[in-house]
């Protein structure tokens, strides 16, 4: 398809969003757009903590699960310029082990416990059907600040590429991942329509790159002052005639 016109009704302010034309590809955020990410990450940290306590018992003398989780949050705050979550997770594990008296340990095995658990997502209802239908119409790219693996979570077949911070060195809302997606697809930024749940990371990020966007407002937040070109509350709305 060479030309698509979207006329999207912004539900919260009851006005018609601007017309979007000549869309040649779609990009999707992953975390909290295709699944609820908070319980996934908490479960991954729990699996990691249980593994570490079993293999390195002294850790339980220095950390309960909640303080172990707090240490990961604090570490991220202390290193605001480290955007690669794999690096941050390994650094967290290393510091916990050292504080607990272990100068050596299988850091990669511990990280793999976390990483595997981090991929155990439960997709929102209908996501497979929605992605299948959309990917049959347009090429699609996943753009995420996280480290979810589209192959491991079972959605690789819908996407031509997956881009995260390890590819560009900068997270959304920086424009770099959007522009890299356009480069890979050989299209202009205005031809890439991004769908995501986060107004700052997804919508403002797409805006900075010159890409139109759809805000997936599944939490039904009452926000009217935003840069999204359209608003939906259910991903299935992407399949309605108003979109394609």
Give residue-wise pLDDT tens across range 158-181: 999 999 999 999 999 999 999 999
Q: What is the mean pLDDT of the chain?
A: 91
* Structural domain that includes position 41: 37-118
Verify that 83 and 144 share a domain, yes or no. no
Verify that 28 and 139 share a domain, yes or no. yes
Verify that 151 and 59 share a domain, yes or no. no
Q: How far apart are CA 28 and CA 202, in angstroms?
A: 9
Verify that 58 and 105 share a domain, yes or no. yes
Judging by beta carbons within 10 Å of its beta carbon (0-12, 13-18, 19+), is residue 222 exposed, middle or buried?
exposed
pLDDT value for 235: 96
- Over residues 85-123, the pLDDT tens digits come to 999 999 999 999 999 999 888 999 999 999 999 999 999
Of 132, 133, 159, 143, give the one whose Cα is nearest residue 211: 143
CATH number for the domain that contains residue 107: 1.20.120
Query: Model pTM?
Result: 0.88
SS3 category, 240: coil
In the numeric block, which tokens belong to residue 237? 């709305």
Verify that 127 and 171 share a domain, yes or no. yes
What beta strand segments (E) does the chain contain? 5-6, 9-10, 15-16, 20-21, 25-28, 140-143, 161-163, 192-196, 213-216, 230-232
pLDDT value for 242: 63
Given 52, 85, 118, the domain boundary residue is: 118
In the numeric block, which tokens belong to residue 123? 């997709």
Answer yes or no: is 244 within a domain.
no
């Amino acid at each position: 398809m060479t030309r698509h016109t979207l006329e999207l009704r912004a539900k919260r302010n009851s006005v018609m969003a601007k017309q979007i034309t000549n869309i040649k590809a779609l990009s999707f955020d992953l975390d909290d757009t295709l699944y609820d990410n908070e319980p996934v990450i908490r479960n991954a940290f729990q699996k990691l903590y249980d593994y570490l306590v079993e293999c390195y018992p002294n850790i339980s003398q220095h950390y309960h699960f909640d303080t172990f989780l707090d240490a990961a949050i604090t570490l991220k705050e202390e290193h605001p310029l480290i955007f690669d979550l794999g690096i941050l997770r390994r650094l967290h594990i290393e510091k916990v082990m050292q504080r607990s008296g272990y100068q050596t340990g299988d850091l990669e095995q511990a990280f793999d416990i976390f990483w595997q658990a981090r991929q155990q997502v439960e997709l929102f209802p209908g996501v497979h059907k929605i992605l299948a239908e959309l990917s049959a119409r347009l090429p699609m790219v996943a753009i995420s600040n996280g480290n979810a693996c589209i192959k491991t979570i079972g959605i690789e077949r819908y996407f031509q590429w997956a881009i995260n911070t390890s590819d560009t060195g900068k997270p959304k809302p920086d424009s770099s991942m959007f522009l890299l997606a356009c480069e890979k697809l050989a299209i202009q930024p205005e031809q890439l329509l991004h769908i995501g749940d986060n107004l700052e990371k997804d919508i403002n990020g797409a805006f900075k790159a010159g890409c139109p966007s759809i805000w997936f407002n599944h939490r039904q937040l009452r926000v009217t002052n935003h840069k999204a070109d359209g608003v939906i509350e259910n991903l299935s709305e992407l399949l309605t005639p108003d979109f394609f």
